């Protein structure tokens, strides 16, 4: 009885958070300009009710009495785990004063506009006061949540349960040690041709091809849709309605294609969650007040990276599908071979902009951001020194000079929306993707499927070993069950070395 009361309350919180997701999707994809102001109020109100319900004394009583009823239940009883998942998340949320969250929300709304303006004006100083306040607020949130040493831990764990700055530093050390020689090696190689990538590719054709491949990968369009936006994203309103967006540019072919497969990877994760977890604690992120089905931000990113990079950027993929792409664009691609196309979308070159970085240099962008964030949060570095620190790290890791704030410290939206501590999950996603993919490739039918363009076996293995669990297991537990060990950088470094070697072998 009290467990039923618990599930009912959680279902209603989940309804509100799914609704908040729709308010966000619509604002980014459909809303006319006149709707901006009211939409901010609507989103704040809906999210705040979800929060008030979660941290209410009524919810606490419901949790306590459900735990009481479940006394004696087995440790792995899904009901017990659901109540504990909600209870743990709500405990963290409850420690953050509502006034702090309100200021964070207000800063986020204001921040986007301030950042966009500062970026357009190429003027970090115009953004610095807002960033200063954001760092202060996030530090207070970290202290309110509590941590064992480094305040960055509290923020990172909100996006990636079980992760800490110390663990990240170890991981980053291994990655840097592996990557830097590979990058040096790549720089010595002749650059493959890319002259055909910016020819004129009408958007309709790009979209048709990208969608057909996404469907072939396993993204279910009857439980989703693909729309255009400025910044591609995936968002869900339960597993039955998981939407993705893309951005297609007529004169840049790979951008649109890979973004769709990236978002489709996120989408398949949400679509693959156990139907029994609909409207439950296992599809509700109580800390971030967000309706989402993935175990963590990093595990989510592993699924998008896996389909984008491990499948979509593989040599075999283009041997199989380049013909279909050339059928769509016969004139533009008439003088290009599958091998040339594959090479063109795998060029490894250090660059200034994270979102345009290749597989080999991407993580260095993440590492430098994480290092700066951690230093900001614990007060080792002041906002006024961030621009110089950024330039220093870009030179050290990528061998490049930062030419402007726009191409440097102002390039990402994250800090302007209060997200400090989420960058590491991009690299964690890469690492997990490699670890899962390496294991998957040893399972019956998967390598054959990849070789013939039948992605159902891979999708199905990911469904059974990752997707279906939703948030009912930690990312670490999922990795251990699926691959036999916890987070391990080795498969990722092996993959990058193999890719570099294959690219060199022309």
Which spans of this chain sit near a copy of itself (rule: CB under 8 A)?
A: 11-12, 15-16, 18-19, 22-23, 26, 30-39, 41-42, 44-46, 49, 220-225, 237-241, 243, 278-279
Q: How far is the CB of 467 from a copy of itself (least distance, A)?
A: 15
Per-residue b or e along 128-141, where b marks 16 or more CB atoms closer than 10 Å to that residue's CB: bebbebbbebbbbb
For residue 278, give both structure tokens: 């609909």
What is the distance between the alpha carbons of residues 331 and 338, in angstroms, rounded to a whole number?
15
Q: How far is the CB of 21 from a copy of itself (least distance, A)?
A: 10
Considering beta carbons, is residue 81 or 239 the nearer one to a copy of itself? 239
Q: How far is the CB of 177 from a copy of itself (least distance, A)?
A: 45
263 catalytically annotated: yes
Considering beta carbons, is residue 38 or 276 the nearer one to a copy of itself? 38
Considering beta carbons, is residue 39 or 95 the nearer one to a copy of itself? 39
Contact 298, 445 (CB under 8 A): no
Considering beta carbons, is residue 50 or 253 the nearer one to a copy of itself? 50
Size of the chain, expressed as the number of residues it contains: 506
CA 501 centroid distance within chain: 28
Considering beta carbons, is residue 278 or 460 the nearer one to a copy of itself? 278
Which listed residue (160, 263, 308, 373) is catalytic? 263
Could you tell me which of 189, 216, 205 has the C-alpha nearest to residue 333? Answer: 205
Instruction: Render 266-283 in DSSP notation, one character per residue.
Output: HHHHHHTS-GGGTTSGGG
**Tokens 């993919």 -> residue:** 437
Q: Pairing state of beta strands 242-246 and 290-291?
A: unpaired
Q: How far is the CB of 245 from a copy of itself (least distance, A)?
A: 12
The CA–CA distances, whole Å, from 419 to 26, 159, 349, 415 equal: 21, 10, 28, 5
Bridge partners of residue 226, in order along the sequence:
244
Instruction: Render 404-453 in DSSP notation, one character per residue.
Output: -STTTTTS-SGGGGT--S-THHHHHHHHHHHHHHHHHTTSTTHHHHHHHT
262 is in an annotated binding site: yes
Q: How far is the CB of 60 from a copy of itself (least distance, A)?
A: 19
What is the distance between the alpha carbons of residues 498 and 374, in angstroms, rounded to a whole number?
32
Q: How far is the CB of 459 from a copy of itself (least distance, A)?
A: 17
What is the distance between the alpha carbons of residues 21 and 178, in angstroms, rounded to a whole number?
39
Considering beta carbons, is residue 11 or 389 the nearer one to a copy of itself? 11
Residue 246: left (phi > 0), alpha (psi -120 to 50), or beta?
beta
365 is in an annotated binding site: no
266 is in an annotated binding site: yes
* Residue 230 burial (CB count, 10 A): 9
In the DSSP assignment, the letter for residue 454 is -
In the DSSP assignment, the letter for residue 470 is T
Catalytic residue numbers, as ranges: 263
Q: Which residues are annotated as a binding site for Zn(2+)?
A: 262, 266, 301
């Amino acid at each position: 009885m009290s467990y039923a009361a618990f599930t009912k309350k959680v279902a209603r919180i989940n309804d509100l958070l799914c609704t908040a997701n729709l308010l966000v999707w619509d604002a980014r994809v459909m809303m006319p300009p006149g709707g901006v102001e009211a939409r901010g109020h609507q989103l704040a109100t809906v999210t705040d009710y979800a929060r008030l319900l979660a941290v209410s004394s009524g919810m606490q009583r419901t949790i306590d009495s459900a735990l009481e009823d479940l006394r004696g239940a087995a440790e792995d009883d899904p009901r017990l785990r659901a109540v504990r998942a909600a209870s743990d998340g709500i405990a963290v949320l409850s420690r953050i004063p509502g006034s702090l969250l309100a200021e964070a929300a207000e800063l986020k709304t204001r921040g986007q506009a301030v950042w966009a303006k500062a970026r357009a004006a190429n003027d970090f100083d115009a953004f610095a006061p807002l960033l200063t306040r954001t760092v202060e607020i996030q530090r207070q949130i970290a202290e309110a949540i509590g941590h064992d040493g480094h305040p960055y831990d509290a923020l990172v764990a909100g996006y990636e349960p079980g992760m800490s700055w110390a663990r990240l530093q170890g991981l980053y050390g291994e990655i840097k040690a592996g990557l830097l020689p590979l990058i040096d090696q790549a720089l010595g190689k002749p650059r493959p041709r890319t002259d055909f990538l910016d020819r004129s590719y009408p958007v309709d054709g790009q979209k048709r091809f990208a969608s057909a491949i996404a469907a072939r990968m396993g993204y279910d369009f009857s439980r989703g849709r693909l729309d255009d936006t400025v910044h591609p994203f995936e968002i869900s309103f339960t597993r039955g309605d998981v939407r993705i967006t893309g951005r297609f540019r007529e004169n840049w072919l790979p951008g649109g294609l890979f973004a769709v497969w990236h978002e489709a990877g996120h989408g398949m994760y949400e679509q693959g969650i156990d139907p029994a977890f609909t409207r439950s604690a296992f599809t509700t992120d109580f800390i971030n007040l967000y309706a989402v089905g993935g175990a963590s931000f990093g595990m989510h990113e592993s699924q998008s990276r896996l389909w984008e990079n491990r499948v979509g950027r593989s040599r075999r993929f283009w041997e199989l599908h380049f013909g279909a792409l050339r059928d769509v664009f016969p004139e533009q691609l008439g003088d290009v071979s599958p091998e040339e196309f594959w090479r063109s979308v795998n060029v490894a070159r250090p660059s200034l902009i994270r979102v345009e970085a290749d597989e080999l240099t991407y993580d260095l962008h993440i590492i430098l951001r994480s290092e700066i964030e951690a230093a900001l949060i614990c007060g080792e570095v002041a906002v006024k020194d961030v621009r110089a620190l950024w330039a220093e790290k870009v030179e050290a890791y990528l061998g490049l000079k930062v030419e402007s704030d726009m191409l440097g410290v102002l390039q990402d939206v994250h800090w302007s929306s209060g997200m400090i501590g989420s960058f590491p999950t991009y690299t964690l996603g890469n690492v997990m993707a490699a670890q899962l993919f390496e294991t998957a490739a040893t399972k019956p039918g998967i390598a054959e499927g990849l070789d013939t363009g039948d992605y159902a076996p891979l999708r199905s293995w990911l469904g059974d070993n990752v997707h279906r669990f939703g948030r009912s297991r930690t990312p670490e537990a999922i990795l251990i069950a699926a691959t036999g060990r916890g987070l391990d950088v080795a498969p990722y470094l092996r993959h990058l070395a193999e890719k570099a070697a294959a690219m060199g072998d022309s």
